[in-house]
Amino acid sequence: MRTWLTGMLVLSTALLAACATETPYKPAESRGEYGYTETPLGDNRYRITFVGNSSTESETVQDYALLRAAELTLAQGYDWFETADRNEDKKVRSTTVDSGFGATYQQSQTYYRNCDLLGNCDTVVTGGTVVSPGSGIATTSSRTSYSYSLEVLMRKNPMPDNARSYDARRLASALRSRLINENQR
């Protein structure tokens, strides 16, 4: 009986993992939900955040945030934007399930990474563990998800030649082309 339960647990975990899909590029239904949000901070200043699920890579989450910054820049009548601040959050959740008596060990860690304009980054790790005792055969799964925030200043031409400035039209076109091609594979 225990072997059958373990087999079912492993099979159901594998099926759930196979069904997982990358976060779609869309507005989040509410703050903290998957997708993008934007917060006006002034006439030409916004904070753009993209929250991805555990099937979305860190680089894709960053690209989605940049894509939204480029689209918003163009929608507001500007030509380019400059990043004033950026943050990446990494959340790791591990769960161990004891198939004998349903015990669960859950550990959750969040990595907050804040980078200044010169690229100097600070990382803070928070987390905790919840334990429900049991015995039997245990299986462990781990999920990692990312969110990325940009604070941007939107401007009109001419654009300076520096690493923090992005031509909104070119960036949006390049990211749409690449992200659409990746999602069609």
Residue-averaged pLDDT of the chain: 78
Angle at 86 between CA 46 and CA 82, to 5 degrees: 55
Give residue for tokens 């910054």.
69
DSSP the chain: -HHHHHHHHHHHHHHHHHH--PPPSSB-SSTTSSEEEEEE-SSSEEEEEEE--TTS-HHHHHHHHHHHHHHHHHHTT-SEEEEEEEEEEEEEEEEEEETTTTEEEEEEEEEEEEE-TTS-EEEEEEEEEEE----S-EEEEEEEEEEEEEEEEEE-SSPP-STTEEEHHHHHHHHHHHHHHHHT-
Confidence at residue 93, expressed as pLDDT on a 0 to 100 scale: 73
| Residue 46 to residue 67: CA distance in whole angstroms | 14
Reported as a pLDDT band with limits 50, 70 and 90, residue 168 is: very high
| Residue 39 to residue 177: CA distance in whole angstroms | 26
Residue that wins the pLDDT comparison between 16 and 20: 20
Confidence at residue 130, expressed as pLDDT on a 0 to 100 scale: 53
Confidence at residue 44, expressed as pLDDT on a 0 to 100 scale: 96
Residue that wins the pLDDT comparison between 161 and 14: 161
pTM of the model: 0.71
Reported as a pLDDT band with limits 50, 70 and 90, residue 89 is: confident
